[in-house]
Amino acid sequence: MTPTQTFFARVACLVALTAACTPQATGGLNFPDDASSDVTTDRATTDASSADASDTDAMVSPDAMVSPDAMVSPDAMTTPDAMTTPDAMVTPDAMVTPDAMVTPDVMTTPDAMVRPDVMTTPDVMVTPDVPPADQCDRPGAIETVPCGMCGTLERFCNVMRRWENGACTNQGVCMPGTTTSRACGRCGTMAVRCNDRCQQVDTGVCTGEGTCTPGEMTTTAAGCPAGQTRVLRCSAMCALTEEVQACRMPQGVDVNVLLDMTGSFSGTLGAISTSLRVRLASGVVGMPESAIGLSYFSDFGFSPWGTSSDRAFTRGGEPQNDAATFSTVFASRPSDSMGGDGPDAVVEALGVLAGIPPHRLITSPPICSTGRAPGGCWRPGARRIVLVIGDSFSHNGPNTSAGTPSYPYTGISPAPTTWNDLAPRLRSEGITVLFMTSSTAMDALNEHRTMVNALGQPTSDVFSFGSSTVDSTLDQVLARIAAIRTR
């Protein structure tokens, strides 16, 4: 092996750190035996053949040949000037220099990469086939589109190619396909479905109902000792849980009907007579311990107040718990009278039923059975009600703007009863006055409301009716009578 070969063999060993190049105690390298003999032979050959060679010790001195400083100095080993390798060999510079590798300038420079300007400019973007919901392609376009719950809105394509939406109008009440519920019946619920027109449709089945209507009152023996009853009110939860009146022995009611017999009411009276004889009478006597009676009024029978056929009061029959008796008395009522002016003897007749001694001109005063109170022939312990049916306002009636009665009688002796006499008597006798007044008689309606207010009653105790509504009005009157009986 030539010195040159030996040199590069050592370099290769140092680079590769192979097992053949083991460090020795002297600091040199250990080569295989054949490599050592070759070195020796080369040295001898060199000594014999080189006449002008320099000193052998200098050429082959182990120190010079294998000195680590001279042999493996990084400067000597890696610099091109110190090395004598052929140009064809792969020098470290050529093999691994960073310049020969993919340099950062080439690999990662922003200029070489896709720049943001190039990547995102609108001019080079590809517009999707389906635009975003708020994007439009015809500035100035106006469209009407669906919105909300089956509604519509108008939208406008502005210069930025974006839709501007107006308000959603004409919507329904629900979202199609949804199901909710609503209250029904007596605190029940009903499923409600929303159709494709955003309208709610009931399923038609009310479930979970209670036993009564809120506010409704009923008399029951449940929860009371034998023979007693109590009054319960229906709660907001549709259950009879609120006790209005504790258990007690049943208490009846006496209803005295005071019927207008003047000519102005005769036509209406004929139209409602069947309802009064059947519906009213059976309704009252159907209540426990209750009775119904009948009396009549028109006016005093001389001019200018009335005619000879007029009577301020005429008895019919005292309260009885028998609808047939009431119907018989009703059928035998006196003939209609004409009267002489607008007002009639309403206050005078009410005074008779309240127990005020009848005027001397009244020829048919009440005749009561033994044990009954005078006037309306009231039964002991019964609640007292007078139901006035007609279209008349009254002489000697209330006058809210002055102390004197309205439409006062004159020239009658003794002076007939006035409202100022009557009101305290009605209150002291515990009499409730109800009016069932023709809807066309506005003077009478106004006066009757004034009267019930003065008695501490609600104005709803004046019931306005017509011939076609008499039955429904009588049902309201009966409900009020029932409430009075149980209060």
Percent share of the chain, pLDDT over 70? 72
Instruction: Give the residue range(s) of CATH 3.40.50.410 domains in the chain.
Output: 253-486
Cis peptide before 304 (omega within 30 of 0): yes
pLDDT band at 131 (very low <50, low <70, confident <90, very high): low
Task: Tell me the C-alpha distance between 149 and 106, whole Å.
Answer: 60
Three-state secondary structure of the chain:
CCHHHHHHHHHHHHHHCCCCCEECCCCCEECCHHHHHHHHHHHHHHHHHCCCCCCHHHHHCHHHHHCHHHHHCHHHHHCCCCCCCCCCCCCHHHHHCCCCCCCHHHHHCCCCCCCHHHHHCHHHCCCCCCCCCCECCCCCCEEEEEECCCEEEEEEECCCCEEEECCCECCCCCCCCCEEEEEECCCEEEEEEECCCCCEEEEEEEECCCCCCCCCEEEECCCCCCCCEEEEEECCCCCEEEEEEEEECCCCEEEEEEEECEHHHHHHHHHHHHHHHHHHHHHHHCCCCCEEEEEEECCCCCCCCCCCCCCCCEEEEEEECCHHHHHHHHHCCCCCECCCCCCECHHHHHHHHCCCCCCCCCCECCCCCCCCECCCCECCCCEEEEEEEECCCECCECCCCCCCCECCCCCCCCCCCCHHHHHHHHHHCCEEEEEEEECCCHHHHHHHHHHHHHCCCCHHHEEEECHHHHHHHHHHHHHHHHHHHHC
Residue range 437-456: average pLDDT? 94
- pLDDT tens string 394-403: 999 998 666 6
pLDDT the model gives residue 16: 60
- pLDDT tens string 244-268: 888 977 678 999 999 999 988 999 9
Assigned architecture for domain 253-486: 3-Layer(aba) Sandwich (3.40)
> Does the model's pTM come out above 0.75?
no
Of 14-23, 115-124, 275-284, give the lowest mean pLDDT range.
115-124
**Residue (of 107, 125, 108, 109) closest to 117 by Cα position:** 125
Residue range 131-160: average pLDDT? 92
Task: Tell me the C-alpha distance between 316 and 292, whole Å.
Answer: 11
Of 11-25, 111-125, 461-475, give the lowest mean pLDDT range.
111-125
Task: Tell me the C-alpha distance between 399 and 407, whole Å.
Answer: 9
pLDDT surpassing 90 at residue 156:
yes
**Residue (of 480, 397, 467) closest to 438 by Cα position:** 467
CB 365 within 8 A of CB 461: no
Residue type, 379: R
pLDDT band at 369 (very low <50, low <70, confident <90, very high): very high
Q: Within 10 Å of residue 165's Cβ, how many Cβ atoms?
A: 12
Exposed e or buried b per residue across 287-297, where buried means at least 16 C-beta atoms within 10 angstroms of its C-beta: bebbbbbbbbb
pLDDT band at 147 (very low <50, low <70, confident <90, very high): very high
pLDDT surpassing 80 at residue 303:
yes
pLDDT surpassing 60 at residue 314:
yes
Residue range 221-231: average pLDDT? 85
Percent share of the chain, pLDDT over 90? 57
- pLDDT tens string 1-10: 676 666 776 7
Of 219-228, 395-404, 448-457, give the lowest mean pLDDT range.
395-404
Task: Tell me the C-alpha distance between 440 and 110, whole Å.
Answer: 98
The average confidence (pLDDT) of the chain is 79
- pLDDT tens string 376-420: 999 988 999 999 999 999 999 998 666 688 899 998 999 999 999
pLDDT the model gives residue 401: 63
Of 113-122, 176-185, 362-371, give the lowest mean pLDDT range.
113-122
Residue range 210-216: average pLDDT? 89
Of 73-77, 275-279, 281-285, 347-351, give the lowest mean pLDDT range.
73-77
pLDDT band at 28 (very low <50, low <70, confident <90, very high): very low
- pLDDT tens string 77-122: 444 443 444 444 444 444 444 444 444 444 444 444 444 444 444 4
CB 478 within 8 A of CB 471: no
